[in-house]
Amino acid sequence: MNEVYDKDQIRAIIGLGNPGAKYYKTRHSIGFRVLDELARVNGSSWQENNNMMYASVSGIALQTVYLIKPQTFMNTSGEVMPWLNKKGIKGNQIIVVHDELEKSFGVNSIKFSGSAKGHNGLRSIIGMIGQDFWRLRFGIGRPQAETSVSDYVLNPFSQKEEQQLLTLLPDACGLLVGK
């Protein structure tokens, strides 16, 4: 496998998050927000299918790309994989957008394969298809010493961070589509 990200090989982008308005602006749901921005920019609308929301996007790769937001809560995000299997989509044609504690806020990178590093959404997907898929790691930074990781990721971004997201979300979309 050539480990250079090629948007034209991607057939599905999975944004990780927790469903519902209560969680939408939390750090753990940044994957949903990136996909919402990508759908907005491309004029795509969301549809419901069992345990996920999905949209189709044309023109960002050689073929139609599915945007997928699992609606099963983070720990069972991998439950969307049977739907992708029916579409003939393989792991190396998938990129998962997720929050990354190991990167400073707003620092993003794309990588292929690897462990879950304690991220339950990634662990769920790895349990279904193995480690060989792409990831857009959206940096959220680490919590202060007195804050637990679970509290940190389930709390909203600060007002200052929300302002910064106005440019960071389009930047993350640019990484996904090669702009």
Question: Does 1 fall in a domain?
Answer: no
Q: Which residue range(s) make up the domain with 102?
A: 7-177
Using an 8 Å Cβ cutoff, are 71 and 110 in contact?
Answer: no
Q: What is the DSSP letter of 143?
A: P
Predicted pLDDT at 148: 93
Number of domains making up the chain: 1
Indicate if the pLDDT at residue 1 is higher than 80.
no
What DSSP string runs through 86-101?
Answer: HTT--GGGEEEEEEET
In angstroms, how far is CA 78 from the centroid of its own chain?
12
Question: Does 167 fall in a domain?
Answer: yes
- Round to whole Å and give the CA distance between 38 and 97: 12
Question: Does 92 fall in a domain?
Answer: yes
- Round to whole Å and give the CA distance between 139 and 48: 28
Question: Does 159 fall in a domain?
Answer: yes
Q: Name the band, by pLDDT with cuts 50, 70 and 90, for residue 10.
A: very high
> What average pLDDT does the segment 64-71 reach?
96
Question: Does 2 fall in a domain?
Answer: no
- Provide the mean pLDDT of the chain: 94
Q: What percentage of the chain reaches a pLDDT higher than 90?
A: 89
Indicate if the pLDDT at residue 48 is higher than 60.
yes
Q: In CATH, what number is assigned to the domain containing residue 48? A: 3.40.50.1470
Question: Does 151 fall in a domain?
Answer: yes
- The catalytic site residues sit at 28
Indicate if the pLDDT at residue 2 is higher than 60.
no
Q: What is the DSSP letter of 142?
A: P
